[in-house]
Amino acid sequence: MNLSYPITYIKGISVQRAALLYTELGIKTCNDLLNFFPFRYIDKTQFYAIKDLQPNSSEVQIVGKITHVKSVAQKRGSRLVATFQDATGTMELVWFKGQKWIKDSLKVNEPYVVYGKLNHYNGSFSIPHPEMELVTEYKKKLQTKMQPVYPSTEKLTNSGVSNKLMRNYIQNLLQQVYDSIQESLSQEIIDDFKLMKKRDALLNVHFPQSQENLAKAQNRLKFEELFFIQLQLLRKKLINKAQIKGFVFENVGEVFNQFYTEKLPFELTNAQKRVVKEIRNDVSTGAQMNRLLQGDVGSGKTIVALLTMLLAIDNGFQATIMAPTEILANQHYTAVSELLSGMNIKVDILTGSVKTKKRREIHTSLEDGSLHILVGTHALLEDKVKFKNLGVAIIDEQHRFGVAQRAKLWTKNTLPPHILVMTATPIPRTLAMSVYGDLDISVIDELPPGRKEVKTVHRFDSNRLSVFKFMKDEIAKGRQIYIVYPLIEESEAMDYKDLMDGYESVSREFPSPKYQISIVHGKMKPADKDIEMQRFVNGETQIMVATTVIEVGVNVPNASVMIIESAERFGLSQLHQLRGRVGRGADQSYCILLSSYKLSEEAKTRLQTMVETTDGFKIAEVDLKLRGPGNLMGTQQSGVLNLKIADVVKDSKILVAARNTAISILQEDSTLSQEKNLPIKQAYTKMTKSSKIWSNIS
Ligand code: ADP
Ligand code: MG
């Protein structure tokens, strides 16, 4: 039987049932069913002695005798309690339903095998509604070993598709196809990593003969799953490199060198130098660059972007940089213009608020090539915006843009421009491998010298007065302060009230004219927001009260205190981004996390992590552990969410091994045409035919 056949080919599966399995579980073919894995196992391979029971044991199997049965009255009705004993100790078996019938059928002082979920209460163990069988009966039967338990849905259960039935279907299928299950890895890999054969792995993941075999089976299947994802991503990258031609920037010429020697206001960090080198290498190969630049807030990505744009200009091309908000675009524009002042390079900015007349000017100068660098927001993506020859497009803070928007930049040219995506959201290495495995990744893992670490503390709301005092001291030193409030859709009305209450109490504590306060929130008109923001940027106000709109990218070096209200309600990456708003100047900066006393364990971990470290990658690792990959920025479109058996967090070692294996195989045999790689090729071809290659950025 062919594994691509629909499951109706399996004994006992009717057309109706197949339809149900498809709508409920997405199982269509025999192969789907074979790869529908149990989420847990009932382990009946082991017997426990009562003295060895642990409060955290889940299901246990015990041999012993009932010594005594009694009815115990409780609030509503009664329960039946049997005292159960083996040579090592005593526990209870308990029934709440069917008591009469059970009481009559229980045999005192005869050995039973009991099985069930263990409860631990007040120092004693019990099993409610155990499965039980007399040892004499138990011995007559052929014993199954570990039993798989499959994920199910209410609809399936109600339609009579029990776990037992699923088990039967899969058992039937395995019996029919076991011999014809094809190996999908090369013998070389199997030997190198001492992996179980594919067919045995499938058999053992469904019907393991022991814990040890189960672990081996899972390991093999995880490796395989991650290996083929990596193979796909890496091949996509290879193919892109080979097929998507890109502009060649041959010259590192006048403009780049002039800027580097005369204008660069500081020495690049080693990390920045390395990344610039990586980019220079990319744009000289003839393939299109598709690079993700990760660098923590304040690590100095802007200068890397600028140098990249100068490379394009040196080779007769234009460059663009796109930011997610108007404020950010303005900051980039200002920074770039200042850095390039005195050089013969024309820079302009295009955002939604640019007037029509100015807009036309920009369009014209873009099309005739006299404009070298265009900074902007998504207004850049409008059809009317046409470049003469766009050589490189830089996208800041990538997670704010959708995939479709990024793709649109491509269509602005005959050849796609080189793409550099910059993000300040650190993604743990293993996750980046899965999500962005087909992109090249650069990391700036070093902050410019002289940066003082932001001192972070956690305070309860009741300490507010001392926080106010601290603020006054800092303002007296000439510093500026952010106070940030959470704002989420579900509790928007309440959140606005908190913000306004907070603003009022801050206004009372910091009265004008001595103190000036800005306020920015989502209900304000963009123009008003900009004015308020600008007042703070210019130093006209000392305090900025805001919702999370300031999260991304704003640069006010004189702001040295970040106060986060209801900090327990923010996610880790958000807290980290917010803290990144301070610590940008020469002064010691502070981050104060205010929270109530009522904190969940997770919230405690988040706040503690923030207090303990300022390393964005460490924070991202904790975030990944707390929330799983699905909630991290940028992972939404990725295949990591659809993993069947592997887990990018827990199985990171296997992931690294699988990726390295895929790399070395492709290096040696990029088309998988060597004899020994035939099993891989066949499996790969089948896989790519049935599933779309993971969608990815740009
Ligand atoms: P981000 O990576 O968050 O975009 P920026 O590019 O805005 O960071 O840089 C943050 C600040 O650090 C800027 O004021 C910038 O001028 C400064 N900076 C960047 N690189 C260096 C360096 N190598 N030495 C000193 N200061 C630097
Ligand atoms: Mg930036």
Per-residue pLDDT tens for 176-216?
A: 999 989 999 999 999 999 999 999 999 999 998 888 899 99
Instruction: Examine the pLDDT at 407 and tell me if it is beyond 90.
Output: no
The torsion angles phi and psi of 486, rounded to 5 degrees, stand at: -75, 150
Domains of the chain (ranges; CATH) run: 45-143 (2.40.50.140), 266-283+300-423 (3.40.50.300), 455-613 (3.40.50.300)
Q: How confident is the model at residue 695 (pLDDT cuts 50, 70, 90)?
A: very low
Tell me the per-residue pLDDT of 668-684, one tens digit each, with 9 for 90 and over: 998 999 999 999 999 99
CA 49/CA 68 separation, integer angstroms: 19
**Which positions ≥6 away from 599 have C-beta within 8 Å?**
568, 607
Distance CA 370, CA 410 (A): 21
- Does ligand 1 lie within 6 Å of residue 301's CB atom? yes
Any atom of ligand 1 within 6 Å of the Cβ of 331: no
- Tell me, what's the pLDDT at 623? 86
Q: Please say if the pLDDT value at position 697 is more than 70.
A: no
Helix, strand or coil, per DSSP, at residue 145:
coil
- Is the CB of 295 inside a 6 Å radius of any atom of ligand 1? yes
Q: In the structure encoding, which two tokens stand for residue 141, read together?
A: 């039967």
Helix (H, G, I), strand (E, B) or coil at 350: strand
Of the listed ligands, the closest to the CA of 450 is 1
Of 314-328, 361-375, 430-444, which range is least confident?
A: 430-444
**pTM, two decimal places:** 0.68
Q: How far is the CA of 535 from the centre of ligand 2 (A)?
A: 20
Of 262-276, 376-390, 579-593, 631-645, minimum mean pLDDT range: 631-645
With bands split at pLDDT 50, 70 and 90, how would you rate the model's confidence at 241?
confident
Q: What is the pLDDT of residue 627?
A: 78
What is the rounded distance in angstroms from the CA atom of residue 616 to the CA atom of residue 572?
A: 10
Rounded to the nearest whole angstrom, what is the distance from the C-alpha of residue 117 to the centroid of ligand 1?
58
CA nearest ligand 1 atom 14, residue: 584
Tell which wins on pLDDT, 199 or 142. 199
Distance 231 CA to ligand 1 centre (A): 36
Task: Identify the pLDDT of residue 694.
Answer: 36
From the CA of 584, which ligand is nearest? Answer: 1
Is the CB–ligand 1 distance for residue 297 below 6 Å?
yes
**Mean pLDDT lowest among 38-42, 171-175, 588-592:** 38-42
Predicted confidence at residue 651, as pLDDT, reads: 86
Nearest CA to ligand 1 atom 26: 448
C-alpha 474/C-alpha 470 separation (Å) is 6
- The confidence score (pLDDT) of residue 637 equals 45
| DSSP label at residue 676 | G
Is pLDDT above 70 for 609? yes
SS (H, E, C) 511-559: CCCCCCEEEECCCCCHHHHHHHHHHHHCCCCCEEEECHHHCCCCCCCCE
Neighbouring residues of the ion ligand 2, judged by CB less than 5 Å: 553
pLDDT band (50, 70, 90) for residue 649: confident
**Probe residue for ligand 1, chosen from 269, 272, 274, 302 as the CB with the greatest number of ligand atoms within 8 Å:** 302
Share of the chain above pLDDT 70, in %: 92
Residue 696 has pLDDT above 50, yes or no: no
Task: State pLDDT tens for residues 427-453.
Answer: 777 777 776 777 788 999 888 887 788
Atom of ligand 1 nearest to the CA of 299: 2
For the residues of 628-658, what is the DSSP string, one character each? -GGGSTT-TTSGGGG-SS--TTTTHHHHHHH
Alpha helices in 106-210 (DSSP H): 135-140, 154-158, 163-177, 187-192, 198-206
Segment 685-689 shows an average pLDDT of 81
- Does any ligand 1 atom lie closer than 6 A to the CB of residue 303? yes
Q: How far is CA 96 from CA 61, 93, 122, in A?
A: 20, 10, 19
Rounded CA Rg of the chain? 32
- Provide the mean pLDDT of the chain: 87
**423 Cβ inside 6 Å of ligand 1:** no
Beta strands in 46-168 (DSSP E): 59-73, 78-86, 89-95, 111-117, 119-121, 124-128, 131-134, 147-149
Counted residue by residue, the chain has a size of: 698
pLDDT at residue 479 tops 60: yes
- DSSP 3-state of 487: coil
In whole angstroms, how far apart are CA 351 and each of 345, 355, 358, 526, 543? 20, 9, 11, 12, 27
Position in ligand 1 atom list of the atom nearest CA 450:
25
Q: How far is the CA of 299 from the centre of ligand 2 (A)?
A: 8
Q: What are phi and psi of 580, to 5 degrees?
A: -65, -10
Cα 298 to averaged position of ligand 1 atoms, centre (Å):
5
Report which DSSP code applies to 262. Answer: I
Kindly report whether the peptide bond that precedes residue 513 is cis, defined as omega within 30 degrees of 0: yes
Q: Which pLDDT band, with edges at 50, 70 and 90, does 82 fall under?
A: very high
Is 80 exceeded by the pLDDT of residue 698? no
pLDDT digits (tens, 9 = 90+) for 547-561: 876 544 567 889 999
**Whether 80 contacts 69, CB under 8 Å:** yes
